Amino acid sequence: MSQSKHPTLRPETDVLTRGFDPSLSVGSARPAVFRSSTYVFSSPEAAERAFDIMGGRAQRRPEENVDLVYSRFNHPNAQILEDQIVPLEPGATAAAVFNSGMAAIMTALLAVLEPGDSIIYTVPIYGGTQTLIQSFLQPFGIHGIPVTAGDTRGIDQAIQSAQKLRVILIESPANPTIVMTDIRRACEAAANLHPAHNGAGAGERPLVMIDNTFLGPAFQHPLSLGADVSLYSATKYLGGFSDIIGGVALARDSSLMNRIRSKRSLFGNIMQPDECWILDTRLPTVGLRMNRQSKNAQRVAEKLNGHPKIKRLYYPTLFEDAEQIRIYKEQCDYPGGLLSIDLHGGKRAAFDFLRSLKLARNAVSLGGAETLACHPRSTTHSAWTPEDLDEAGIGEGLVRISFGIEDWRDLLADFEAALESI
């Protein structure tokens, strides 16, 4: 829909003022919900034009109003949401919304990967993403190359040596040990790759895609670091209340986004109008919520650091590894709302701790206004082998906490009491 009239506005202002024209919603100050599955054309010629543009046979002219067609392809609430989310991701020119984070990841990958291509991906990575690559893309002839998150030299070497490398998919920080991977460095390695070097088509350098769910959009800006696509599970911080499932892809290059959108039309995984409307109401507060969540996590992490029942604590301001400290300082504005603690006493201690919590709730997922805690080894990462879990630092005593927006002093008291109960 309409672009911002003031292209220099800061994100917090832009998100509230662009992308929505009240005159198209009978003057309503907030967008209406358009639940129609199909749209009446203004003329047969306009219908023909809309199909030509959708089919890639014609290009939309700047300022041209193209008729809507059918809600699997596009609908007003998706357009409004996409226009309003763009300013939250520095460097983005276009967005596409999906009915889950997995749908966003899958569609972005399948928009560019072909049989015979390679994809490099960091591990640990979200379980669904790992299964998508290993159990779905590999049998289709796409070669998956895992690299250890945070292993800067290992990633450089993988980029240099991969054949027909099409995508580098990085999740940073990694879950649940908060290991960070140098995004800028991977983007530079991809950009410097000579096209003839690894058999990709002429002029086709590999695309860098970042799963930015844990620190974006407030604290980490992959497109500014050189990445091509920033991906989200909007179920987490963007949605912010543990009440919707959604996904977003954002890109610097709008023609790449058109490729992703055309696959979305084919797969039928666009976000539905009601969900778009809900997510749209959450955008103006995502920065406020994430700041509060990060402050809560940081205060509690720093208070719990050194607690006799805690073997090790994983939080960016408490990193000890020099390379991790460097990446954190260069790449992130704030440490974020996720904290993992490894308890003395293994699984039993972790389960006692979770059972004793009164305020924080024992659930997977993250990013909501309420504090959640889980035991990754027996839940989110239970499909891993014991060797892989140990190597990634996902021990029997590890508990991951996603901070909400409660008062941090109440949360600290809750955690201290639960630690005493072990």
Ligand X SMILES: *Cc1c(COP(=O)(O)O)cnc(C)c1O
**Is 263 within 8 Å of 107 (Cβ atoms)?**
yes
d(CA 155, CA 190): 10
Q: Which residues pair with 341 in a beta bridge?
A: 313, 399
Q: Which is nearer to ligand X, 205 or 282 (CB)?
A: 282
Instruction: Provide the mask over 247-286, with x wherever binding to ligand X is found by CB under 6 A and - wherever it is not.
Output: x---------------------------------------
Q: CA–CA distance from 373 to each of 219, 402, 406 (Å)?
A: 22, 6, 14
Tell me the three state secondary structure of residue 29.
coil
Backbone region of residue 390 per phi and psi (left: phi > 0; alpha: psi in -120 to 50; beta: other values): alpha
Q: Which of 100, 181, 272, 331 binds ligand X (CB under 6 A)?
A: 100
15 closest CA partner among 84, 82, 76, 92: 84
Instruction: Provide the mask over 58-97, with x wherever binding to ligand X is found by CB under 6 A and - wherever it is not.
Output: ----------------------------------------
Return the residues of window 380-419 that contact ligand X according to CB under 6 A: none
* Span interacting with ligand X, options 22-30, 116-124, 231-239, 340-348, rule CB under 6 A: 231-239
Q: Which is nearer to ligand X, 41 or 267 (CB)?
A: 267
**Is 111 within 8 Å of 261 (Cβ atoms)?**
no
Q: Which of 20, 121, 126, 315 binds ligand X (CB under 6 A)?
A: 126
- Residue 181 found at the interface with ligand X (CB under 6 A): no
- Residue 127 found at the interface with ligand X (CB under 6 A): no
Q: Which is nearer to ligand X, 128 or 345 (CB)?
A: 128
DSSP code of 411? Answer: H
185 closest CA partner among 248, 94, 122, 255: 122
Q: Which is nearer to ligand X, 102 or 339 (CB)?
A: 102
Backbone region of residue 65 per phi and psi (left: phi > 0; alpha: psi in -120 to 50; beta: other values): beta
Question: Could you give phi then psi for residue 413, rounded to 5 degrees?
Answer: -60, -40
Q: How many CA atoms lie within 13 A of 322 on its CB side?
A: 0
Residue whose CB is nearest to ligand X in the complex, by number: 101
Q: Which of 101, 150, 337, 397 binds ligand X (CB under 6 A)?
A: 101
d(CA 9, CA 227): 23
d(CA 134, CA 169): 14
- Residue 245 found at the interface with ligand X (CB under 6 A): yes
Q: Which is nearer to ligand X, 181 or 198 (CB)?
A: 181
Q: Which is nearer to ligand X, 108 or 350 (CB)?
A: 108
Q: Which is nearer to ligand X, 76 or 247 (CB)?
A: 247
- Residue 329 CB burial class (10 angstroms; 0-12, 13-18, ≥19): exposed
Q: Which is nearer to ligand X, 249 or 357 (CB)?
A: 249
Which tokens hold the place of 411? 């949360």
Judged by CB under 6 A, the number of residues near ligand X is 13
> Closest separation between CB of residue 171 and ligand X, Å?
6
Q: Which of 32, 60, 67, 128 binds ligand X (CB under 6 A)?
A: 128
- Residue 324 found at the interface with ligand X (CB under 6 A): no
Amino acid sitting at position 417: A
> Closest separation between CB of residue 10 and ligand X, Å?
27
d(CA 96, CA 106): 13
* Span interacting with ligand X, options 74-82, 99-107, 157-165, 256-264, rule CB under 6 A: 99-107
Q: Which is nearer to ligand X, 84 or 100 (CB)?
A: 100
Q: Which residues bind ligand X (CB under 6 A)?
A: 100-102, 126, 128, 171, 211, 213, 233, 235-236, 245, 247
